[in-house]
Amino acid sequence: DAKTTQPPSMDCAEGRAANLPCNHSTISGNEYVYWYRQIHSQGPQYIIHGLKNNETNEMASLIITEDRKSSTLILPHATLRDTAVYYCIVRVNNAGNMLTFGGGTRLMVKP
Amino acid sequence: DSGVTQTPKHLITATGQRVTLRCSPRSGDLSVYWYQQSLDQGLQFLIQYYNGEERAKGNILERFSAQQFPDLHSELNLSSLELGDSALYFCASSTTGASDTQYFGPGTRLTVL
């Protein structure tokens, strides 16, 4: 699976949009971009995933650049409960289905 | 709530002992994955089962073993425990074990004294 690069930490003001970047410059054509988050020591929570089109669900939006070398997870109106470590993972779309977690981005939402 | 359940929530034991962690996947999911999260190693994949059969293996120690039963629940057995085995152990499940999304349970915190 391709490696990803994320900033180790970010701050965001409550109520503002949180934009979390991820670089995956070696991504291949059949790899999806997945985002998970982990709040404190809870189990990782699935947020969203995409291949090349932008995606949106009730939690977040995922913007993938046209060359697919980077993406941005957008939390439109961050709340204190969004404080967590956010993991960007790229994953081959077939066998060997484990998730490879990097260091992630620690997002701190401040009042 | 992801629908994946794990028991126990916490486990405290001594070095050299053996423990069993249990995972029940979401209803309808055939695949179960085990991950370990320690302070110095981050989240690491251990092993995957699909419909009772081992499908993929990660950095799982020989002292660790797992199985998936006919009712699709899974158990992770850790033996000859060492201090370094203290960690959070997460189970995840997915529908087919292919490229579909994995949903994680709340984890078991293992402390080896």
Number of helices followed by number of strands (H, E) in chain B: 0, 11
What is chain A's alpha carbon radius of gyration, rounded to the nearest angstrom? 13
Q: Per-residue pLDDT tens for B50-87? A: 999 999 999 899 999 999 999 999 999 999 999 999 99
Q: Which two tokens stand for residue A111?
A: 């009042």
Query: Residue A96 pLDDT > 70, yes or no?
Result: no
* Better-predicted residue by pLDDT, B36 or A93: B36
Give the pLDDT band (50/70/90) at residue B96: confident
Residues of chain A with Cβ-Cβ distance to B92 below 8 Å are 43-44, 99
Distance CA A3, CA B68 (A): 30
- Of B45, B58, B105, which is closest to A43 when you measure between CB atoms? B105
- Which sign does the torsion angle of CA B108, A108, B41, A45 carry? positive
Residues of chain A with Cβ-Cβ distance to B56 below 8 Å are 95-98
Q: What is the per-residue pLDDT for A94?
A: 59
Q: What is the per-residue pLDDT for B42?
A: 86
Q: Per-residue pLDDT tens for A33-91? A: 999 999 998 999 999 999 998 999 999 999 999 999 999 999 999 999 999 999 999 98
Query: Residue B88 pLDDT > 80, yes or no?
Result: yes
Give the pLDDT band (50/70/90) at residue B40: confident
Q: How many other CB atoms are found less than 10 A from the CB of residue A46?
A: 18
- The CA distance from B80 to the nearest CA of chain A, in Å, is 25
b (16+ CB within 10 A) / e for A11-39: ebeeeeebebebbbeebeeebbbbbbbbe
Q: How many other CB atoms are found less than 10 A from the CB of residue B18?
A: 11
- The CA distance from B85 to the nearest CA of chain A, in Å, is 17
Query: Residue A95 pLDDT > 60, yes or no?
Result: no
Query: Residue B7 pLDDT > 80, yes or no?
Result: yes
Residues of chain B with Cβ-Cβ distance to A35 below 8 Å are none
* Better-predicted residue by pLDDT, A71 or A98: A71
